[in-house]
Structure 1
Amino acid sequence: MFRPLKKLKTLWTDAHTALGMIGLPFQFVYAVTGAYFMIKLLIVAPNVMVLYDGDQAKLYEDLEYSHPHYELSKDTLKTDFDANMYLEKTKDLWQDFNVVEMHIFNYGTTNMHLLLNGHLNFKDKFTGIGGGYL
């Protein structure tokens, strides 16, 4: 109950209680998130041992934290390669997409792959991180 017309001490106590109740859900989210990140080791480590036979690199590959690996081909390209052409193609497909990095795998071979990473403008979408393989 909020009693603004009572004495100052009661007003102060009621306001303190009301703000505490409003902030309680946020504190709960902070507590759960912090607890998850602190005990993540206890959750992830047994799963790596059981599901991946201790191969942590395979876990990161499945979670897509690492770049893909392509087998190196011994055959070389017979034509010239222009990375800027693929960059322009990407910009034509997505006008608001800002390319921030480009990775070239197995450069000059017939198994060459190009990875473009970037993001949308933050005025369009706040979490607009993306990437694509060409």
Structure 2
Amino acid sequence: MLRSKDIDTLGAFAADYDAAGARTFACLLYTLDKWESALYWWRFAAGAGDELAAHLLAVHHAAVGRSTDARLWRAVARMMGFAAERHLPLPVRGTTELALGFARTWDRTLQSFLQHNHLPRELAAH
């Protein structure tokens, strides 16, 4: 319940939240297969102006076959100014190998998506 004396806490929250931190937390949740929670925090970060979070939402929805949502988030990311060359992180290592014990067993659909880059036309277009 919101009380009048609680209104000051909103100002403190607005001053302390960090969109990049919310995006990073969402990425951690996603790697732990906590997709619903990750989507929540990506939407929070995107709503706070994080272009990369909007892009990650587009990629997730494209990967799971929700092309309408993927197109929506792709458009949002573009309107926010997302640019792959500016926003996508550079690999820490020079190889594409995952850290030992990091990856779970992927099914063939996900492997095919990652290997063959079958993105929906709307998501892959520049």
Q: Which has the higher contact order (CA 8 A, sep 6+)?
A: 2
Higher strand share: 1
Q: Which has the larger helix fraction?
A: 2
**TM-score interval for Structure 1 and Structure 2 normalised by the shorter chain:** under 0.3
TM-score, structure 1 as length reference: 0.20
